Amino acid sequence: MKGLLITIDGPSGSGKSTVSRRLAERLDYTYVDTGALYRAVALFALSEGCAPDDDSRLAEICKHLVLRFENSSKGPILYANGDDITERIRTPEISMAASAVSARSVVREYLLNVQREMGKGGRAVFEGRDMGTVVFPEADIKFYLDADLETRALRRYKELAPDHAATSLDEVGEAMKKRDGDDSSRALAPLKPAHDAIIIDSTLLGIDQVVETMLGHVRVHTK
Ligand code: DC
């Protein structure tokens, strides 16, 4: 099968990460979680006390940030300046901060280059918000994965680490609604389907069904 560049965009909790990872595994492609890159910038901004709209400090942070994914049996590991930050970026605080820094052009421009560099060789599944619209407008296949807010909130709630057990389902839903609203309404690279994206609603579909549907499109494309 010829190597392709596949993009999967969509809101949080749509099942994007699991589906993207499985699709990449099935095709023996590289999986790139671009949300993790925004989370890395947010982690550094928070730890340095930098406000999410302080563009000159954000530019400094980006200038000194070297991001790299490495595969492992547990999934991709993200290294920032040589440190494994894979676990530390998975908190509700980092989710909100990542959304905030992702609205800044200095951050988007820096990560645009990082992502395009990672995608050079093709044979990859890129997951994010603007993969098909901005980062890889020439991608071979673009998917947009969506689901009802209620379903997405429940999925995210079930994924919460035990130390966030005090958070209620309503709180998860509210935070998700706010973040999706911000990500979709921002001026720069807002979350939306590319005009040529294949839209899949996963509200009533299991992970396997979504992956099979996508593989069907890949087969048609490579025929
Ligand atoms: O996919 P995620 O929840 O890990 O993403 C965290 C935030 O990063 C998300 O709220 C918006 C931003 N993001 C983005 O703007 N563009 C991307 N390609 C990926 C993520």
Ligand 1 centre from 216 Cα, in Å? 27
76 found inside a domain: yes
Number of domains in the chain: 1
| DSSP codes, 8-57 | EE--TTSSHHHHHHHHHHHHT-EEEEHHHHHHHHHHHHHHTT--TT-HHH
**Is residue 89 included in any domain, yes or no?**
yes
Q: Give yes or no for a contact between 145 and 8, defined as CB atoms under 8 angstroms apart.
A: yes
CATH code for position 199: 3.40.50.300
- Quote the domain boundaries for residue 80: 5-216
**What's the pLDDT at 1?**
55
> Looking at the domain assignment, is residue 131 inside a domain?
yes
The answer to whether 37 and 118 are in contact (CB under 8 A) is no
pLDDT of residue 177: 93
- Average of pLDDT values for 24-33? 96
Whether residue 32 is contained in a domain is answered as yes
- The predicted model scores a pTM of 0.94
Residue 95 lies in a domain: yes
- Residue range 57-82: average pLDDT? 95
Q: Whose CA is nearest to atom 14 of ligand 1?
A: 129
Say if ligand 1 is within 6 A of residue 12 CB: yes
The answer to the question of residue 222 being in a domain is: no
Please give the share of the chain, as a percent, with pLDDT higher than 70: 97
User: Would the CB of 35 count as within 6 Å of ligand 1?
Assistant: yes
221 within domain boundaries: no
**Is residue 94 included in any domain, yes or no?**
yes
